[in-house]
Structure formats: structure tokens, C-alpha cells
Structure 1
Amino acid sequence: MLRPIRALAAAAAALALVCACNSASGGSLPGKPGDAAATRGVSAGSIKVGGIVSMTSASGYSKKDTDLGARARYLRANAEGGINGRTIDYIGAEDDGQDPGKNLAAARKLVQQDKVFAVAPMSSVTFSGADFLEQEKVPTFGWGTLPSFCGPQYIYGFNGCLVPSPGGTLNQTWPEGIGQVLGGAKGKSVAIIANDSDAGKFGIRTFRQGFAGAGFEVAYAKASVPATAVPSDWSAYVKDILASDGGEAPDAVVSVMQTPNNIGLFTALKRAGYRGLLSDPTDYDPALLAKDTTRQALDGVHVLLQFEPFESANPRMDQFKADIKAASGGREVPLNMHMLTGYMSADLFVSIALKAGKDLTVAHFQNAARSFSDTGTLVGDRAEPKGQKESFGCGALVRLKDGAYEVSVPFKCYEPVPFK
């Protein structure tokens, strides 16, 4: 039985135990130590990489553009000569359907059948394949919103660890940004709501501390919304939230959920007369504006970004846009945060692999990662292994107003606070 990466919470530990099973292969195939030709997924001319992405889900929510973002970064890397002379053979992403069993199955397929060197990107609300990938010594990169991105040796969050263990730190972009919009956190209250899932529970745990650390009164914090289906009736949730601040409505409502849930919740809150600030971390997607009902539901919502907004004018964002266009066959496509997730997951992998040198083995890759750092990226300054214990601490807020996004709090790096 695989050993859980660590017991951060009963739900995560139970999930790891249910999904665990025996495996004995490592990161290298038989051959001389340090020989790149004996390393899984590495040949004289290529490096094989795959991904795990929630392309589909029961709610209809999709992260499929994460795959496009990764592909765009790999295409540019190959156009620039690859990684120390090797072409990146990106075989695409497996769809886990946001299902724990499928997530583990996808990890096993990529390693045991496809023989990948690395998994980049991994983007889902579940990561039951984490223990397997860690044991198999597979460098894995994704959005660090799950505890499995915090602590393991071989798993990396593209913007660091966002769900730290006690002794780590919290990214304060969201509470500090909302505090700026409200004119300060002192005397202000916030309600935080999430899905009843691993990601939701850990989100409540971290953001409760983060908002309190910024000076907010946390009036409500529950991971109570079913993760498998969007509620058809939000009245019970709305009633609780609107009376959470001593019988009054809180100054802000923060949803740690995906778009279908946010549309339902925010629509219900607005119909009930709520006039406070609404915020979530997922609804930065121009494609959402095509439907009038969706646009109305999300109008005025402040969305947390942990990267430079697309509206930013700088060379790094220009390069990202050019790469996405190239990967889309030269077509202009609406940008979304899933593309950036895939792109920056791939970018961190590429950056470390370049530093590892021509003799690419897992050991050499890990040695390069242990002293890796760079500055001025789309997620701020990066450093490993710091990023496996805490976030890089940067972000922004954008607001949907009159059918278009605008920056409400510019991209900035904030001093983290201790996680207890």
C-alpha cells in the first residue's frame, strides 16, 4: 500500500487509502546510473511529457484549455531548440472527469503505458494519483490548490504551494485585494463558501485563516455545497449567508467554487437583494460573456488571479498571447485562466529541465530544482524548493463590468502570513 504523502486531513487521508495500491517501478530503467538513455521518457532526441486535466465533469465545467496552454509553451520551446537539444514530445492530457479513480488511472497510464518523464500539467479538483506519481519519482507540475502540491519532492505548483501544512505560509492576494476594494478590512465581514470536496475543505481551512489574518471578521466559512452536482435551489445557502454577520449580511461573499456553482449562488444572492462584494477564483473567461444570463450573474464579481491579468501590457504577456495564437493554428482565441495554468505549469517544467543539463535524469532534474529560481515571470518571482512549501505570494483581482473585464487590483506580491 502506498504511504500517503502526509495526513493533512481525514478526507485526504481516506481518499489516499482507498485509491492506493502496490507499485514497484522507479524513475529510471535498467542501465548505468546517470545515463539519460536509461531514464523513462528520455531518448537521445526527445523527452516525453503528458498531462492530467479535467476535460469533462458531471457539472459541465471543463478545464480543457489547460491542455492548449501547455501545448503552446512546448511548441515554443521546441521552436527554440527544445531542452538542451531534445524535442519535447507532448502526448496531450488524459481526462480524469474530476473523478478520483480516473485521476489515479490516468497517472498510472501515463507512467506505466506511455512511459512519460514528467506530468505537466495536472489540473483537477482531485489528485488521488499524487502518491503514485511521487513514489514513481515523476516530476509533476500543476496549479497548487491541493495539499499534494505541498511537501512532496517531485510535485510542483506553478505558483507554489497554495494549501500549506502547519508551519508554512498563506498567499494573501485575495484577502488583501478585497480589503483594498472595500477601503480596508478592519470592521468588515466575509462569508466563505465552498464545495464539499477535498479542494473545498482545504480552501475553507486556508482562506478562513487568510481573511482573518488580513483583519476581516469571518462570519461564515463552510464547505457545504455538493461537489457532484450543482444545486437547483440555493435558497438555504443564501438564507444562511445573509444572516451570518449577527443577523445581517456580510460585507463580502467569497466563493471557492467553479463557474456553474458561482452562477447559481451569485444569481440567487442578487435576487435576494444582496449588494455587497462578490468574489471567486475561477470566472476569468471571456467565453462566459457569450450568454446574457451568465454575464448578468457574474457582473460586478471580483475574480482572484494568481498571475498577471491578460489586460496587462508587458512583453511576458505579449509572448503568452503569441504562443497561444500559434498553438491555435494562427487564430485569435478568447484567453482564459486554464490556458495560463497549463502554460505556466509547462513553463516551470521547461525552465528546470533546461537547468538540469544535457544528461537529463530524474536525479539531475531534482538537483536542478533544489537550487532553481528566476524573476519577473507571469506569476512573479519563482524559487524551489520554496514553492513546495509556500506560495510565490503574487496575484491580482479583475472585475467584470458592463460585459468586459477590468483590473480592480493590479498584480502585486504580498507578504505571506503563517499557516497554523
Structure 2
Amino acid sequence: MPRPIRTLAAAAAALALVSACNSASTTGSSGTPDAAAGAYYRGVTDDSIKVGGIVSMTSAGGYSKKDTDLGAKARYLRANAEGGVNGRKIDYLGAEDDGQDPARNMAAARKLVQQDKVFAVAPMSSVTFSGADFLEQEKVPTFGWGTLPSFCGPRYLYGFNGCLVPSPGGTLNQTWPEGIAQLLGGARGKSVAIIANDSDAGKFGIRTFRQGFASAGFTVSYAKASVPATAVPSDWSAYVKDVLAGSDGKAPDAVVSVMQTPNNIGLFTALKRAGYKGLLSDPTDYDPGLLTQDATRQALDGVHVLIQFEPFESTSPAMAQFKADIKAASGGRDVPLSMHMLTGYMSAEAV
């Protein structure tokens, strides 16, 4: 029997704490003086470094990335247990919930800097990043999942996994197109349909992956950010019809969804009910907990998920350490692991 969820691993990410902080912000006398640079660092004292996060704990569509906060907390707790960073303990304030709303994302960024006076923001995980320009202007090191152009280029904003959606002319990451080409026995003569939410992240994703799959040799038969971002459709029939019709009336060899879990469950279920037998893939549903429910297990059966870190099945010392850290942060309880835990954990790595 095939595995319910298969992974296309982008990289086996190293899980090792960087021993020194990145570029700091100069903010007058609110921090600790750096004798060499003659500067003061916001959020840094002789014995602590203040850090906060911005995470979509809630959303209008019911999707939650709350596990991102636990992942970051787990990494900070271990760092502190090992003596902190250069002798300073990390004072993690937890993550602000932006609700996947641009106004709340900006408000969260301003609160963390102006009220909480953090040195860094890590993790930042949302489909919107309206606070990016403000954090860059304030020279606040910010680390998150590089799924938005804001993580591509600015001096103080970093994707723990690099830049996934570069501006036009930037270097594309071809892991996903090349992985799917390998699964299909090559891209020549094969077509792919790409669908996303009507959001900033969805539009950037469509632009990037349309180019990436075309560059890999695929015919892109459909590529639209057409699904509402604020609510999961109750009827997927129109989307399924458009995706399967493509540009020539022929069903694509692969359907790639650049959406979040509730949308993927609905779309994949509807495609399977319509008789679609091609390859299905997305970058967000690597979550063993989804397989505990019959409906989600059936929807994700056979789906290939792109990930940017080691899979939980890995027996490497680094993955064993991650699992131990999560258990410690959960009060000794065994909790279901999720991709969002790892994105928070990896974001905290960089501080």
C-alpha cells in the first residue's frame, strides 16, 4: 500500500543554533552599548535578548499556524538551557496573532518594536507581511518561512529556507518542478495546472511556479490565484472544471496547489471524485496529524508534499534533537508533530 503522504525534500536542513546574533538595530540608549561599534542594541541587555514573533494563530478560513510558536519556543528553551547566546538568555515573548490580516500584521510589527522593544522578530509566518518595510526600516532582524518576496533582498529580513518567490529576474528554486518531473518520468510532453488563493502569497506563488514549471519543460495548462483567501469554498466544481479543462481541454498530468490545508482537502477531494488520476502536490500538508481523520486521510492519499527540511521519519541526530526539544517545550508530553513546528524551530535557529 502506498504511503498516504509522500515528500519531495528540498534540502536536509542542518539543525544547529547560530552562535551569534545577526545585524542589530541602533536605537539610541534603549539597549546595551557595543564597545566595538559604539552603538546601542534595542532589546539587548547584559544578560538577555528580547525576541518576539508574528504568526497566524487564527484565520478567517479556520487555518492555524499556532504550532509555529511552539517550535520557536522549543528552540529558544534549549538555547537557554545551553547558556544562551554569547552568555545572554533569550527572552521569547511569544508570537502575536495577525489572523492573516495585513492590518493586524502591521500592528503586530509596530507593537513588538515600539512597545515591547524586541531585538528580533522570529518567527514571522503568515501569508501576508505588510509589516516588512517597517521592520526593515527599523533594522529589526526578522526570520521566517521565505514564501513572500519580502524575504528576498532586504538586509534585515531572512527566510530560514532562503528566498522561494524572488522578484522577476531573480533565481528560481527548481526543486518542486524537477521533483515532479522525476516522478512523471520527465517533463517533456507533460502538463501541469497550478492553483492558488487570491492573496499576496498566492499571486506571488503563481507567478513564481508558472515560470519554474515552464523552465523545467512542462506545459503550464492552467495557472490562477482564483480561490477566495478568506473562506474555503463549499462547492469546488467550477474550479475542478477549469483545472481539468486546462488550455486544450485535456486534463493535466499534475495539479499543483499553492494553498493551505483546508483548501487542499476540498480541492483534492473534488478532483478525485471527478475521476482525476494524475499527480497531486502541495507545499503545506506535511502533517501526520491530518492522517488521523478519515476525510483528510482520503483526500491526501498519494499526495506529494514539498518540504524544505528533514522529514519527521528521519533518524538523524538532528531530528531526534528536534523531537526531544518539542517534547520538553510541551511539558514532557508527546504531541503530534507538524510542519509549522519545524518552520518556527528553524526560524529560531537563526537568532
User: TM-score of the superposition, structure 1-length normalised?
Assistant: 0.75
1:304 matched to 2:306? The reply is: yes
CA change 1:285–1:341 in 2 (3 A) is same
Report the Cα distance in structure 1 between the residues aligned to 2:191 and 2:168, rounded to whole angstroms. Answer: 25
Equivalent in the alignment of 2:199: 197
Residue identity (%): 84
Equivalent in the alignment of 2:259: 257
**1:102-152 CA distance string (max 9 Å, x none):** 000000110111110000000000000001101111000000100110111
1:171 matched to 2:173? The reply is: yes
**1:187-211 CA distance string (max 9 Å, x none):** 1110000001000000000001111
Query: Are the counterparts in 2 of residues 58 and 228 from structure 1 also a CA contact under 8 Å?
Result: yes
Which stretch has the larger CA shift, 331-340 or 123-132? Answer: 331-340
Equivalent in the alignment of 1:64: 66
In structure 2, give the amino acid aligned to 1:259: T
In structure 2, give the amino acid aligned to 1:70: A
List alignment gaps of at least 5 residues for structure 2: 1-24
Equivalent in the alignment of 1:135: 137
Query: Are the counterparts in 1 of residues 143 and 158 from structure 2 also a CA contact under 8 Å?
Result: yes
Report the Cα distance in structure 1 between the residues aligned to 2:129 and 2:274, rounded to whole angstroms. Answer: 36
Equivalent in the alignment of 1:212: 214
Query: Are the counterparts in 1 of residues 123 and 348 from structure 2 also a CA contact under 8 Å?
Result: yes
Query: Are the counterparts in 2 of residues 189 and 245 from structure 1 also a CA contact under 8 Å?
Result: no
Query: Are the counterparts in 2 of residues 195 and 225 from structure 1 also a CA contact under 8 Å?
Result: yes
**1:309-364 CA distance string (max 9 Å, x none):** 11122111111111111111111111111001000000022xxxxxxxxxxxxxxx
Instruction: Show the 5 A alignment for 1:305-384.
Output: 305-349=307-351
Shift of 1:38: 3.3
Equivalent in the alignment of 1:29: 28
**1:248-271 CA distance string (max 9 Å, x none):** 100000000001111111111111
Report the Cα distance in structure 2 between the residues aligned to 1:82 and 1:289, rounded to whole angstroms. Answer: 37
Equivalent in the alignment of 2:102: 100
Shift of 1:33: 6.4
Report the Cα distance in structure 2 between the residues aligned to 1:83 and 1:224, rounded to whole angstroms. Answer: 45
What stretches of structure 1 move > 4 A for 4+ residues in a row?
A: none
In structure 2, give the amino acid aligned to 1:218: V
Equivalent in the alignment of 2:128: 126
Equivalent in the alignment of 2:283: 281
Shift of 1:229: 0.7
Instruction: Show the 5 A alignment for 1:152-191.
Output: 152-191=154-193
Report the Cα distance in structure 1 between the residues aligned to 2:313 and 2:41, rounded to whole angstroms. Answer: 42
Query: Are the counterparts in 1 of residues 26 and 39 from structure 2 also a CA contact under 8 Å?
Result: no
Shift of 1:29: 2.3
In structure 1, give the amino acid aligned to 2:254: A
**1:349-403 CA distance string (max 9 Å, x none):** 2xxxxxxxxxxxxxxxxxxxxxxxxxxxxxxxxxxxxxxxxxxxxxxxxxxxxxx
Report the Cα distance in structure 1 between the residues aligned to 2:40 and 2:210, rounded to whole angstroms. Answer: 47
**1:132-173 CA distance string (max 9 Å, x none):** 101111000000100110111100000111111233211111
Number of residue equivalences:
324
In structure 2, give the amino acid aligned to 1:72: A
**1:53-112 CA distance string (max 9 Å, x none):** 000001110000000110111111111110000000001000000000000000011011
In structure 2, give the amino acid aligned to 1:112: Q
1:91 to 85, 90, 93: 93
Which stretch has the larger CA shift, 328-337 or 151-160? Answer: 328-337
Shift of 1:299: 1.0
In structure 2, give the amino acid aligned to 1:179: A
Report the Cα distance in structure 1 between the residues aligned to 2:183 and 2:277, rounded to whole angstroms. Answer: 14
Equivalent in the alignment of 1:44: 46
Equivalent in the alignment of 1:401: none
Considering only aligned residues, what root-mean-square deviation do their CA atoms show, in Å? 1.4
What SS does the corresponding residue of 1:151 show, helix, strand or coil? coil
Report the Cα distance in structure 2 between the residues aligned to 1:79 and 1:183, rounded to whole angstroms. Answer: 48
Shift of 1:40: 1.1
What SS does the corresponding residue of 1:72 show, helix, strand or coil? helix
Shift of 1:245: 5.0
Report the Cα distance in structure 2 between the residues aligned to 1:277 and 1:256, rounded to whole angstroms. Answer: 14
Equivalent in the alignment of 1:397: none
Which stretch has the larger CA shift, 35-44 or 215-224? Answer: 35-44
Report the Cα distance in structure 2 between the residues aligned to 1:294 and 1:27, rounded to whole angstroms. Answer: 48
List alignment gaps of at least 5 residues for structure 1: 1-25, 350-420
What SS does the corresponding residue of 1:38 show, helix, strand or coil? strand
Shift of 1:51: 0.2
